[in-house]
C-alpha cells in the first residue's frame, strides 16, 4: 500500500477527535485528513495564526481536503474570531506532477471533492470560520477587495502558476502580514513542480520581508512595514 493510499485508509479507519478543545486536538484531527504538510509545519502555521490581529483575514490558496484548514480555523475558533477564505477548484487539477497524487487520493472518495472538504470542516465544528471560494487564484481575485493578514500559497506548484498567484494576491497582503509558501524548502525539486521554491528564492527576502523561516518544506515570512 502506498503512502498516499495509507493516508486515506487512516482517515477512514481512525476515530475522529470529537469536539476538539485545544490546538493538539485540531492537530490530531488534521492528521486524519489526507495531505502533505506534517505536524511540525502545521504547528508553526498555527503559531502565526494564533498571533494575528482580532478578526484576522486568512486566505488559503489550495486547500485540497482541509488538512491545514482545520488547524487554522481551529485556532481562530479557540480565539473566537477570524475567517479563513479557502480558494480551490476542488477538481484535483494542478501542475502535471501533482495531479496523479491528487487522483490517487480523490479516486477513493465516494462524493465530490468539495463535499468531502465540507464534511471534514463540519466534523470539526468549523463551518462558521471558513468561507469557500470555488475557483483558482486567477478566477477569484477579480472580485477580491479585502486586505489580508495571512496569505497561504499552496495551489498550482508550477513556476508559472506559483508566480501568477503571488503576483495577483501579494498586493492585498497587509504590511506586517504573513505569507506562507508550501513545498519551498531546500529539498531537490522536480522541474515543473518547483514554483514555490523559485518564488521563495526570488521574492521572499529583505527588504520586502523579514522573519523569514522555513519549517521543513514550508516557508514563512512577514511583509515589512512601509
Specify the pTM: 0.91
**Mean pLDDT, rounded, of the chain:** 92
Contact 177, 223 (CB under 8 A): yes
- Cβ partners under 8 Å of residue 189, min gap 6: 183, 197
pLDDT at position 18, please?
A: 66
In the 8-state DSSP scheme, what is residue 53? P
pLDDT at position 16, please?
A: 57
pLDDT at position 3, please?
A: 38
What is the Cα–Cα distance from 193 to 204, expressed in whole angstroms? 18
Residue 109 has pLDDT above 60, yes or no: yes
Hunting for cell 468539495 — which residue is that? Answer: 114
Q: Residue 124: CA atoms inside 13 Å, Cβ hemisphere, count?
A: 36
Look at the chain and count its residues: 226
What is the Cα–Cα distance from 109 to 113, expressed in whole angstroms? 7
Contact 152, 59 (CB under 8 A): yes
Give mean pLDDT, residues 145-164: 97
pLDDT at position 4, please?
A: 42
CATH of the domain at 20: 3.40.50.150
Could you tell me how far CA 224 lies from the centroid of its own chain?
22
Residue 5 has pLDDT above 60, yes or no: no
User: Structural domain tally of the chain?
Assistant: 1
Contact 47, 39 (CB under 8 A): no
What is the Cα–Cα distance from 214 to 27, expressed in whole angstroms? 19
pLDDT at position 17, please?
A: 57
pLDDT at position 2, please?
A: 34
pLDDT digits (tens, 9 = 90+) for 170-226: 999 999 999 999 999 988 888 888 999 999 999 999 999 999 999 999 999 999 986
Q: What is the DSSP string of 146-215?
A: --EEEEEE-S--SHHHHHHHHHHHGGGEEEEEEEEESS-SSSPPPTTS-HHHHHHHHHS-TTTEEEEEEE
| H helices, E strands: number in the chain | 9, 7
Q: H or E stretch including 60? A: strand 57-61
**Helices 67-79 + 113-123 axis angle, to 10:** 30
Residue 13 has pLDDT above 60, yes or no: no
- Cβ partners under 8 Å of residue 142, min gap 6: none
Q: 71 lies in which domain range?
A: 3-223
pLDDT above 70: percentage of residues in the chain: 92
pLDDT digits (tens, 9 = 90+) for 39-75: 999 999 999 999 999 999 999 999 999 999 999 999 9
What is the Cα–Cα distance from 187 to 162, expressed in whole angstroms? 17
pLDDT at position 117, please?
A: 97
Three cell numbers written together for 206: 529583505
Amino acid at each position: 500500500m502506498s503512502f498516499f493510499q495509507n493516508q486515506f485508509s487512516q482517515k477512514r479507519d481512525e476515530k475522529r477527535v470529537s469536539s476538539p478543545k485545544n490546538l493538539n486536538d485540531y492537530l490530531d484531527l488534521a492528521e486524519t485528513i489526507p495531505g502533505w504538510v506534517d505536524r511540525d509545519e502545521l504547528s508553526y502555521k498555527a503559531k502565526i495564526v494564533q498571533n494575528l490581529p482580532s478578526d484576522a483575514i486568512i486566505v488559503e490558496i489550495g486547500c485540497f481536503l482541509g488538512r491545514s484548514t482545520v488547524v487554522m480555523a481551529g485556532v481562530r475558533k479557540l480565539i473566537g474570531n477570524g475567517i479563513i477564505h479557502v480558494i480551490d477548484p476542488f477538481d484535483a487539477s494542478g501542475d502535471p506532477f501533482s495531479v496523479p497524487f491528487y487522483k490517487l487520493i480523490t479516486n477513493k472518495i465516494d462524493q465530490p471533492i468539495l463535499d468531502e472538504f465540507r464534511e471534514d470542516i463540519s466534523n470539526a465544528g468549523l463551518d462558521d470560520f471558513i468561507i469557500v471560494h470555488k475557483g483558482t487564484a486567477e478566477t477569484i481575485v477579480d472580485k477580491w477587495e479585502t486586505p489580508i493578514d495571512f496569505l497561504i500559497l499552496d495551489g498550482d506548484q508550477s513556476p508559472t502558476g506559483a508566480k501568477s498567484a503571488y503576483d495577483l494576491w501579494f498586493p492585498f497582503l497587509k504590511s506586517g502580514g504573513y505569507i506562507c509558501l508550501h513545498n519551498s524548502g531546500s529539498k531537490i525539486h522536480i522541474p515543473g513542480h518547483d514554483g514555490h521554491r523559485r518564488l521563495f528564492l526570488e521574492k521572499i527576502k529583505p527588504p520586502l520581508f523579514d522573519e523569514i523561516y522555513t519549517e521543513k518544506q514550508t516557508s514563512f515570512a512577514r511583509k515589512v512595514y512601509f
